Amino acid sequence: ATVATEAAAGRVAFSLEQTVTLRSGETANLPFLDLNLPAERLWWVQDLAATRALQALRFRNTSNHVLPDGLVTVYDGAGAPSFLGDAELRALSPDDQRLIAFARDRDLRLSSQNSSRDEITRITLRRGFISLDAKRIEETAIAIDPRGARGVMVIDAPRHPGATPRFTVAAEGEFGLRHEILLEAAPKTIRLGYERDQRQDVPLWDQGLGDPLLLQAAQFDLEASLRRLPGGPGSVERLQEILDRTGADVPGRDVLASTITALQELRVLLDAARLAAREARSADQALTRARQAVEDRSGGEQQAARQRLNAASREAEAKGAASSRAFEAWQRAVVALLQRGS
């Protein structure tokens, strides 16, 4: 039967062709609209951590009528159709599209795993630090086993503010970002990733140690500050790890490699300065013992002790000078490294 509709604010109205009279206390179930709408059966994933997908229908209101809120009963097959489930439909305007879920699929299997990584895109050497431009990639891998079934799957992924999706977005709305794939009966893994630009500065010198130009060998304890020094434990290894995960074609990779070489040379100089400092301390301790020996002895023994004191003094002076030279060699190399770059 042909019907006419009149839409009013906040409601949907249908006019019947014939008048229907109801007595007090009576109700009636009356068909008011008979339409064929194009519909597609598919799987719908609303939660990336879900282990089961929803069975759903996607259809478009191709009529000129607003479809009101109501309950949708879904059947499969012609003639003697089988009941599949019920779904709730919110009001649907002409030409609008809607997804409605009516059941949970018991056969199809889902599993997911989250991961994140950084992909370096550029390396720049600036005075005192290495600047790394990178893309932070956060990814959810979803393994799907359709158990031989074929069809379309719709996946609603959350938005990541400030990040760009690395997958095709079919639609965007309150549900987030919608991605669609076609399942061809065989197991399949899809990856839903997001990327955001970030920058990290890796200092080559700890500013808390002061100006490297003003350091004095006699007043600076290399051992106490060892892990904070260029060439110290971890300084080379950290940059080497960054180099190992940097693509061969990344701009500035050669700059990082040359900086690592400079730090390796600094490590040799630092180890030499540490050894020289230990030898100088040992010589100073020997000098202190020699002075005490002179005070504790008299006569001929004191004369021999004075000779040993003179030798210890010369040794301490030589070791101290060698320690200063080794420290200054390391210091000059540090300053040269920090003056590289823009």
| Residue 84 placed within a domain | no
Whether residue 198 is found in the same domain as residue 209: no
| Residue 17 placed within a domain | no
| Domain carrying residue 315 | 204-338
Whether residue 239 is found in the same domain as residue 158: no
Whether residue 265 is found in the same domain as residue 165: no
| Residue 23 placed within a domain | no
Whether residue 165 is found in the same domain as residue 225: no
| Residue 319 placed within a domain | yes
Whether residue 182 is found in the same domain as residue 121: yes
Whether residue 130 is found in the same domain as residue 192: yes
| Residue 100 placed within a domain | no
Decide which of 141, 170, 202 is a domain's last residue.
202
Domain count, the chain: 2
Whether residue 191 is found in the same domain as residue 216: no
Whether residue 255 is found in the same domain as residue 317: yes
| Residue 221 placed within a domain | yes
Three-state SS for the chain is CCCEEEEECCEEEEECCCCCCCCCCCCCCCCCCCCCCCEEEEEEECCCCCCCCEEEEEEECCCCCCECCEEEEEEECCCCCEEEEEEEECCECCCCEEEEEEEECCCCEEEEEEEEEEEEEEEEEECCEEEEEEEEEEEEEEEEECCCCEEEEEEEECCCCCCEECCCCCEEECCEEEEEEEEECCCEEEEEEEEEEEEEEEECCCHHHCCHHHCCCCCCCCCCCHHHCCCCCCHHHHHHHHHHCCCCCCCCHHHHHHHHHHHHHHHHHHHHHHHHHHHHHHHHHHHHHHHHHHHHCCHHHHHHHHHHHHHHHHHHHHHHHHHHHHHHHHHHHHHHHHCCCC
| Residue 126 placed within a domain | yes
Whether residue 325 is found in the same domain as residue 228: yes
Whether residue 281 is found in the same domain as residue 333: yes
The per-residue pLDDT string of the chain (342 residues; one tens digit each, 9 = 90 and over) reads 444 445 554 566 667 777 888 889 888 887 777 788 888 999 999 999 999 999 999 999 998 888 888 888 888 876 657 888 899 888 888 999 999 999 999 999 999 999 999 999 999 999 999 999 999 999 999 999 999 999 999 999 999 999 999 999 999 999 999 999 999 999 999 999 999 999 999 999 999 999 999 999 888 999 999 999 999 998 999 999 999 999 999 999 999 999 999 999 999 999 999 999 999 999 989 999 988 888 887 777 888 888 888 888 899 899 999 999 999 999 999 999 999 987
| Residue 145 placed within a domain | yes
For position 2, what pLDDT does the model report? 44
